[in-house]
Amino acid sequence: MADFDLDSADGRREALRRMVTIRAFDEEAGERFADGEIPGFVHLYIGEEAVGVGTCASLEPDDYIASTHRGHGHCIAKGLDPKYMMAELYGKAEGYCNGKGGSMHIADVDEGMLGANGIVGAGPPLATGAALTIDYRDRDQVAVGFLGDGAVAQGQIHEAINLAATWDLPAIFVVENNRYGEGTPVEKQHNVDNLSDTAQAYDIPGVTVDGMDVTAVAEAVAEARERARAGDGPTLVEAQTYRYRGHYEGDEEPYRDESEIERWKDRDAIESFRDRLIERGELTDDEFADLRSAVESTIDDAVEYAKAADPPEPSAAYEDMFADRPPELDRFAATARPDGGANGGDRR
């Protein structure tokens, strides 16, 4: 069983909690970035929560996902701990990647998270590879590769899906069509109406679902997962969604106007799912308020934790290059240090 299941009331509340957590995490990350506390680039997932959570609702804990540059939501949906995520954003030693990855590279292979990725289109080949391991070892798992609408134009995406299709690997490719690749609208990047139409080229099923509806996403992924496990190969799921924020924090967004954003906000994934749960009598306003304040304190704690955490030791810059450390690392790291090293001159 998935660690949260949309067929049960508890699971539905958990899905809602994860979506709210993603939004709160990213709102906080945006603010902290604006305050200059977080270095690098930050790409927020706000608005797209139903896609990550809907997908992970239909996965088992040991299934794999390979993410994108907009990866915070996928991490939380997969069950990663906001504390260590935030510490990673702050570049701290206790972060998921010991401060070597940052926002764009959060990963935990043991938790089935094969990394956010700074390269558009690079995750799906890794998902194909994870699916290859699963297939090779005859395991009952699947691997999901997330990609954006922009990434659908990347060559390696085609290669990864085609390879997974020809080898009938247990992979699922989830396209998050948030309508823009940076500032270029999807219509200018592709000729097909639905990005799932490209599935025809690989002779695999392609479906387009409402990416603002967490259950619609979950159903499509559950079906894809069944197919994958049966040995019938990958499925391409396109989830139509929208990002409320700019491409990255600080983006002035000359390419779209406020009214478009407002139109999508009318169909907000969190609000509509919350309303559905209230209508079904599974949640009250008070319970939702409690859920929200619990999430907020989780995020506050994460920020406190991240701020208080230790920065990595400078020597950590030379660690984790290899399983088997080559002598070069000691040789050159030593000369790079201000105190110099043993290699500044002839042995004599």
Partner 1 sequence: MTAQTEAELGLETETMTVREAIRQALREELERDEDVYVMGEDVGLFGGVLEVTSGLLEEFGEERIRDTPISEAGFMGAATGAAATGTRPVVELMFSDFAGVSMEQIMNQMAKMRYMFGGKADMPVTVRTTEGGGMGAASQHSGTVHSWIAHFPGLKAVVPGTPASAKGLTKAAIRSNDPVFVFENKMIYEQSGEVPTDEEFTVPLGEAAVEREGEDVTVVATQRLVGESLGAAETLEGEVSVEVIDPRSLYPLDVDTIVESVEKTGRLVVADESPLSYGTHAEIVARVQEDAFFSLDAPIQRVGTPDTHIPFSPHLEEEVLPGDDDVRAAIQRIA
Interacting residues of 50 by C-beta distance below 8 A, sequence separation 6+: 19, 211, 212, 213, 214, 217, 239, 241, 269, 270, 273
151 contacts ligand TPP (rule: CB under 6 A): yes
Residues 124/147, Cβ–Cβ less than 8 Å: yes
CA torsion angle 178 75 73 227 (round to 10) = 50
Interacting residues of 249 by C-beta distance below 8 A, sequence separation 6+: 30, 33, 34, 41, 42, 43, 44
User: Considering the complex, what minimum distance in angstroms separates the CB of residue 29 from partner 1?
Assistant: 19
Q: What residue 182 binds from ligand TPP, partner 1, none (CB within 5 to 8 A, per partner kind)?
A: ligand TPP
Residues 89/100, Cβ–Cβ less than 8 Å: no
Q: What residue 162 binds from partner 1, ligand TPP, none (CB within 5 to 8 A, per partner kind)?
A: partner 1
Residues that bind partner 1 (CB under 8 A): 64, 66, 95-101, 105, 107-110, 114-115, 117-119, 122, 124-134, 136-137, 143, 155-156, 158-160, 162-163, 166-167, 319-324, 326-328, 343-348
247 contacts ligand TPP (rule: CB under 6 A): yes
CA dist 318 and 333 (Å) reads 7
Q: What residue 269 binds from partner 1, ligand TPP, none (CB within 5 to 8 A, per partner kind)?
A: none
| Residues 89-118, mask of contacts with ligand TPP (x by CB under 6 A) | -----------------------------x
Helix (H) or strand (E) holding 84, with range, is helix 82-89
Q: Which of 4, 146, 180, 273 binds ligand TPP (CB under 6 A)?
A: 180
Contacts with ligand TPP by CB under 6 A: the residue count is 15
72 contacts ligand TPP (rule: CB under 6 A): no
User: Considering the complex, what minimum distance in angstroms separates the CB of residue 291 from partner 1?
Assistant: 31
Token pair listed for 58: 């239909």
Residues 16/270, Cβ–Cβ less than 8 Å: yes
